[in-house]
Structures are given as C-alpha cells and as structure tokens.
Amino acid sequence: MYFYIAHGLNIGSEFVFPELEVAENESDVLIRLGTLNGSVRRSINEHNSFLGETPNVGTFLVQDGCEIVVDPSPGVDEALLRTIILGPILAVLLRQRGLFVLHASSIAVHGAAVAFLGGSGYGKSTLAEAFYGRGYSVITDDMTAVHICRDRLCVFPGYPHVKLLPDTVCSLGYALAALPLLHSQTEKRVHYILRRLPQVSLPLTRLYVLASGPHNEIEPLQPQDAFVELTRNSRAIGLLRSPNCVMTHFHQCARLVEGVSICRLKRPSSLLALADTVRLVEEDLSSVSSSRR
C-alpha cells in the first residue's frame, strides 16, 4: 500500500502515483484494484455510489466518498489510467464528500487562493504556470476543490505539477524534451513544481472566469452571471444526478457567489500577450487588497 496527500485528503492506494505528494501511513480514501463484473454492478447502491467506464481504459466504482475501485482494461497505458483516476474519478469522490469541484487552476497570492475558471483550452494551466514563473505558488491545476465551511471557503493544494501544451512549454522558456508526456494519447507535457505549498488550506478570495477578447480586460460579474459560470464549469456535474446532489450543488453555487469575488477576465489567445495578462491580474489583485485595508 502507498500513501499520498492531495486536496486535503490522505489517500491509501494499491497503485503508485508519482504525481502525488507522499504522506504518512493513514488514509481517508482508498484506491484499490477490483473486478467489477455483473454481480458486483447489480449490488451497487446508486444513492451513494457511482459506476462509470472509460473505453479502453477501465471501469471505476466510487463509493461513499471514501473508496475508488479500479478495473483496468487489458494493456492500458498506466499513465493514462492514473490521469483518469486523478481527474474525473477523483472529482466524483470529492463531490461525494461534499466539496465543490471547479474546472479551475489556482495560485497563492498573499496567503489566499486565486482561481482561474474555464473549460479545456481556455488557458487555466498556462496562466497558473505564468504566475509560477513570476514567483507565485501553484495550488491546483485544472481541478480546484473548494471546502465549504460555515464561515469560510478554502482550497487545499492538489498535485505538484502543471499540464502544458507544447507551444506553451516553448513560449515559457522550457525545453520540450525535458518535460515528460502526460500519457501516450496526448501532446501535453508535465512540469513538476519545485516550490511546493504545505498541505494547509488557503481562503478562496478571487475567481476569474476566462474568456477570449481582443485585449486584456477585467469586468465584475453580476450574481446571476456568476452563478451560471459556476454551474457551467463545475466538474462531475453530469455524473452525479440524484436530487440530493443537484440540490447540494445549487446551494454551493449560491454560497460561492455570496462569498467570493467573481470577475470575467478577457484576454487575447496569443501567448505573446500572456505577460500583459499577468500584469493586469496583479494590478487588479493589488487594488482589491488596497480597498480592503
């Protein structure tokens, strides 16, 4: 058994996950191999379990927010299998545990979490990596799990790496050959973070919804628009459809709209404009910090 920590959870696993931080010999969550045949599937309680299959990768059972059972397809690329487990499958488990899971990357700024929200290809990882190059710490890449407490919204560090497309790798000054492929079915490379944050929570204070535009611009979102964006960019929302899950998600969206400053960040798609985007966000965060004093 191997032990790791991510998103504030201790994970015990029968799989080796080189992507994760090693932890002590205890676990909140168990990831194990298992055979998910017909009899097992018929016995599943759908109220607290999720069963899903990714073709040519494997079948996955997520139960009670505390266990992931993996039945891999024969000959599957292990890196691809790990990517699926640490992506959509873990997102389901986090939601079962009551966390609000966003399709977002986040960075640490002055002891708080700032997140960039958007779908695939919107530049979440690119922005997080650009801020890392400016000396900031990356908290999460591509998936941000928000712990909703009575009086605060907080984020724990996820995985100590950022996934980048080849053109981004080159534009940021890295040697493409020096960064490993994420898995055999993608062009994305993995940049392992050297400056790692301790596994402590940071308050989520600002959220930028990414959008394309002719120039860099930040505009506040009205509550109803912010609510729509949170719903649209939530992870695993289509996988857990029970009335209780839907109602919980509705209330969580409302809680974030109330508790977090949410803006739209419009930016050109050109990587040449990335440095200007970073400077604009820094100025925006500085002005928000000054207004709170």
Per-residue pLDDT reduced to its tens digit, 186-224: 999 999 998 888 889 999 999 999 999 999 999 999 999
Q: What pLDDT does 26 receive?
A: 82
Q: What pLDDT does 39 receive?
A: 59
User: Is 63:34 a contact under the CB 8 Å cutoff?
Assistant: no
pTM of the model: 0.92
Sequence-ordered alpha helix ranges (H) in 85-133: 90-96, 124-133
User: Is 26:41 a contact under the CB 8 Å cutoff?
Assistant: no
Q: What pLDDT does 192 receive?
A: 94
Query: Out of 28-42, 153-167, 199-213, 223-237, which region has the weakest mean confidence (pLDDT)?
Result: 28-42
Q: How confident is the model at residue 269 (pLDDT cuts 50, 70, 90)?
A: confident
Residue 67 DSSP symbol: E
Please check the confidence at residue 98 and state whether its pLDDT lies above 70. Answer: yes
Q: What pLDDT does 195 receive?
A: 83
Please check the confidence at residue 291 and state whether its pLDDT lies above 60. Answer: no
Domains annotated on the chain, with CATH: 2-97 (no CATH), 101-292 (3.40.50)
For strands 144-148 and 137-140, give the pairing.
Answer: unpaired
User: Is 28:16 a contact under the CB 8 Å cutoff?
Assistant: no
Q: Which helix (H) or strand (E) holds 232?
A: helix 223-232
pLDDT tens digit sequence for 37-48: 765 665 565 667
Please, what is the Cα angle at 197 between 217 and 195, to 5 degrees?
80
Q: How confident is the model at residue 279 (pLDDT cuts 50, 70, 90)?
A: very high
Q: How far apart (Å, rounded) are the C-alpha atoms in residues 163 and 159?
A: 11
Please check the confidence at residue 16 and state whether its pLDDT lies above 60. Answer: yes
Q: How confident is the model at residue 87 (pLDDT cuts 50, 70, 90)?
A: very high
Mean of pLDDT values over 80-108 = 96
**Share of residues in the chain with pLDDT > 70 (%):** 95
Instruction: Report helix angle 243-259 to 223-232, nearest 10.
Output: 130
Please check the confidence at residue 248 and state whether its pLDDT lies above 80. Answer: yes
Which tops the pLDDT comparison, 46 or 288?
288
User: Residue 155: what residue type?
Assistant: V
Q: What pLDDT does 149 receive?
A: 84
Q: Which residues pair with 105 in a beta bridge?
A: 116
Instruction: Report helix angle 124-133 to 274-292, nearest 10.
Output: 80
Q: How far apart (Å, rounded) are the C-alpha atoms in residues 269 and 274?
A: 9
Q: Is 258 helix (H, G, I), strand (E, B) or coil?
A: helix
Q: What pLDDT does 246 receive?
A: 87
pLDDT tens digit sequence for 105-148: 999 999 999 999 998 888 999 999 999 999 999 999 999 999 99
Cα 130 from chain centroid? 17
Mean of pLDDT values over 259-274 = 94
Burial of 34 (0-12, 13-18, 19+ CB in 10 A): middle
